[in-house]
Chains A and B, each alone.
Chain A
Amino acid sequence: MNATPSSNDFILQVEHLSMKFGGLVAIGDLTFQARRGEITALIGPNGAGKTTVFNCITGFYKPTEGMITLNKRDGSTYLLERLPNHEIPARAKVARTFQNIRLFSGMTLLENLLVAQHNKLMKASGYTFLGLFGFPSYRQASAESIELARHWLEKANLVDRADDPAGDLPYGAQRRLEIARAMCTGPELLCLDEPAAGLNPKESAALNELLMDIKNNTGTSILLIEHDMSVVMQISDHVVVLEYGRKISDGNPESVRTDPRVIAAYLGVDDEEVQEVLTEVGDEDVIEQLDTGPDAAHGPGNSASMMAGPVSDSVEHADEGERVTVSKGASKAAQIDARATSVASKPTPAAKPAAKSSAAKAEPKKAAAKTPAAKASGPSKGKEAAPKPAAGKRGGRK
């Protein structure tokens, strides 16, 4: 970020990515980069849109707006949002795992890893025809693929169970097998969706070891969604934090850990403070909403969208296309921003009347848009204004 490295240093560049489900914005204007050979972590509270970002990158969703560029080691570049789903792993070499493990449970471990080498073997078997007649070229390719599978089974410490059905494995082993299966596709970028979810500390450590091994020995870059902060802080080189579909922080683990916006996003701020802050900004709508609950006209309503969670960030007016926040108190990071701006604007009395005008509706959003500028001054002033630094340590541990 500081310098501007050549684009080939970045394996993945996500620019202005937006994903909307109907009027619901799951990801709004997200921009981040993942460096080659690094482990980039994507974190954020539940419902922040992390998995949606993954689904956009791996082609399960077509993004509404934005560009996702993948730069391969050999210099070729792929625009992932334009590739069909199955060509993203096949040609752009992006492999992924799933939050709820998706193994071929009725097939053995070895078969799972052989299926992952489908495209290579398909070519070797002459698109089935040569293989059907038992040509030796296929037999050789088949033996090689078994060797590769054995290699990854050994790495994942599963080689003893190679001939057991995948559904028979304990949970932690299934997670490792899914990573091994993804690695068998020979990926340049490996996307892991919560690989440490449900693992005990010992399994979690084994996972860290496997990921570090992949990073150091294969040249595969890793993009990782994770809630387990011990994993994130230990192994990631770069952390991107999402909240309500927007990036609220981006940097190395240390800087993210102490970012008050991140802490607020994870731990929240006290209700009284919210009201305090919002009254300071002069947003009467929000004060009203805090008393009466969400406005039905602007709320998510009976949306069938999978993203229609408890609080959604914003909806779009069908008639105007103007975006309006549903619950302005929802984004904790925006509250921190608002507080920062309010602290900053206090000395200047002119700011208050402006905020009270009809344009005030857009105020919190503007504050969010100002993020980069506000960020520089935000933390220091925020610390003065609120007794939050103590909470900062807690947030880091979570």
Chain B
Amino acid sequence: MAATVSSERDAVATPVQRAFREALYAGAISLGLFVLFIGLRTDQNISNELILVQRWGLLAIVVAAVTVGRFLYVAYAVPAMERSRAEKAAVPAVVAEPGFVRRNFNKIGATLLILYPIAMVLFFGFQGSLKWVDNFGIQILIYVMLAWGLNIVIGLAGLLDLGYVAFYAVGAYAYALLGTHYGLSFWILLPAAGAMAAFWGVMLGFPVLRLRGDYLAIVTLAFGEIIRLVLINWREVTNGSAGISGIPKVSFFGLMSFNVSDPNYIAKVLHITQSGAYYKIFLYYLILALCFLTAFVTIRLRRLPVGRAWEALREDEIACRSLGINTTTTKLTAFATGAMFGGFAGSFFAARQGFVSPESFVFLESAIILAIVVLGGMGSLGGIAVAALVMIGGTEILRELDFLKAVFGPDFTPELYRMLLFGMAMVIVMLWKPRGFVGSREPTAFLKERRAVSASFTKEGHG
């Protein structure tokens, strides 16, 4: 902005003079913009008449904030940034040795995740830990797993899938229906749900194989909606939008149950006091184990020919065919593998909620999972986990920010702004790191040393 505005006249002006002028412009523009948005407000009075509320004070505050902000930015922030950039350019670029945290990021992350519920119980007691383990821990880990599953399809194979939530729904309903009707155990239905989701992944894969890019995205989007509409309308089986309730809880491999009425209830077996927190902590470790499984399989697959073929497919499909790779089966395996993890996550979700309805599988879910993958950096497990933590944890933490009520008045509900903040965060991250938190790519094999491949060389795939 500063560069575009500055003309020959500006060359002689000092930064403060220029800042003063630009601050006036910015103030004038903001006044023009906000005079109707903020200065006037329509409302209803007690007898339901439309009245105009004038808020000139608020308008003045906003315009003043913009003016002062612009002044400070142009006068001090811009020169400071230029100075630091010049300093950085002057110092020869040294390849910084990655710090201890960087090098052992995965190990530290895994240890923290394993210790997290214990720490929460120690800090808040069993009852107090419920919120932190369930609302934060389990919720975030579900999204981590979903995003890692989608990462196989988008990050590795480069196939843009906007209907990923369909597989999540298939997994959830598979467990909900088979569990409630046939009383089968979670441990049998978990692989079954995965297999069913993978089957639907292949079903979706066949018709869309010939499509690329935007077209693929639209068809997968439609597939997600079809699954949701079938769930709503096939009332005889799915109970429509009322959903399925009373989904059985997961047992500890049949040895201990988490139902208070059961004879082998965990508190009775272990002779400890009764608490709902045990189940949540158990579920936390269950989803953590499923996440580790996803990560393990993804890391392993990348070093196998099929994983390399996925990445090669993302880079150049025509070259793949010229090397004898069957792109059809390669794409189908990517769809199926990604869908399978979605199915696992879905059946876990059903077990955790005890209730499923089509409400949980709207397009917004697909969009959030996709956003996590893109923000984290396509293909990078660590980056995606951090993105899920920021995005899901961030929106959850908004519920906790009661002090904002003191600032904005008692009828301010921070949750309502979470999608706004979500969007703003995405814009900022995409400006700051266009390829996500971790844009570089770890090679799967090396002759001498493993060097990360910079994001500027990797491609996103064309669908």
Taking Cβ atoms with an 8 Å cutoff, the residues of A that contact B are 58-60, 85-91, 95-96, 98, 102-108, 110-111, 114-119, 121-122, 125, 128, 131-132, 134, 138, 142, 146, 150, 153, 159, 162-168, 181-182, 185
Contacts and interface: CB of A to CB of B under 8 A. Distances in A.
Given A163-B451, A165-B457, A107 B311 contact: yes
Contacts, number: 145
Contacts of A90: 324, 326
B441 interface: yes
B312 A115 contact: yes
A121 B305 contact: yes
Nearest to A131: B304
A132 B441 CA distance: 21
B315 to A, nearest CB: 4
Contacts of A182: 322-323
B458 interface: yes
A128 B457 contact: no
Nearest to B315: A104
A357 to B, nearest CB: 50
A114 B304 CA distance: 10
A101 B452 CA distance: 23
B325 A115 contact: yes
B298 to A, nearest CB: 11
Contacts of A110: 443, 445-447
Contacts of A96: 322
Given A105-B459, A107-B312, A162-B447, A181 B306 contact: no
B318 interface: yes
A165 B455 CA distance: 10
A384 B108 CA distance: 87
B321 interface: yes
A378 B423 CA distance: 75
Contacts of B88: none
B180 interface: no
Nearest to A184: B323
Interface residues of B, number: 40
Contacts of A132: 297, 300-301, 304
B322 A106 contact: no
Given A104-B316, A122-B306, A87 B447 contact: no
A128 B304 contact: yes
B444 A111 contact: yes
Contacts of A163: 443, 446-451
14 contacts: A96-B322, A98-B322, A102-B322, A103-B315, A103-B319, A104-B319, A107-B312, A108-B453, A110-B446, A114-B445, A122-B305, A125-B304, A132-B301, A162-B446
B17 interface: no
A335 B319 CA distance: 40
B457 A168 contact: yes
Given A111-B445, A163-B443, A98 B315 contact: no
B457 A114 contact: no
Contacts of A111: 308, 311, 443-445
Contact of B315 (A107, A116, A117, A162): A107
Contacts of A122: 305-306
Given A86-B321, A111-B445, A115-B309, 10 more contacts: A86-B325, A86-B326, A106-B314, A106-B315, A106-B453, A115-B320, A115-B325, A146-B445, A150-B447, A185-B323
A102 B324 contact: no
Interface in B421-463: 441, 443-451, 453-454, 456-459
A186 to B, nearest CB: 10
B327 interface: yes
A128 B307 CA distance: 9
A195 to B, nearest CB: 14
Nearest to A92: B324
Nearest to A164: B451
B32 to A, nearest CB: 47
A321 B228 CA distance: 52
Nearest to B456: A167
A167 B323 CA distance: 18
B450 A95 contact: no
A108 B322 contact: no
B292 to A, nearest CB: 15
B447 A106 contact: no
B447 to A, nearest CB: 4
A102 B443 contact: no
B458 A106 contact: yes
The 3 A-B pairs with the shortest beta carbon distances in the complex, nearest first, are: A106-B458, A90-B324, A89-B324
B453 A86 contact: no
Contacts of B309: 115, 118
A132 B306 CA distance: 11
B323 A107 contact: no
Contact of A105 (B315, B318, B448): B315
Nearest to B460: A106
Contacts of B454: 165
Nearest to B459: A106
B450 to A, nearest CB: 7
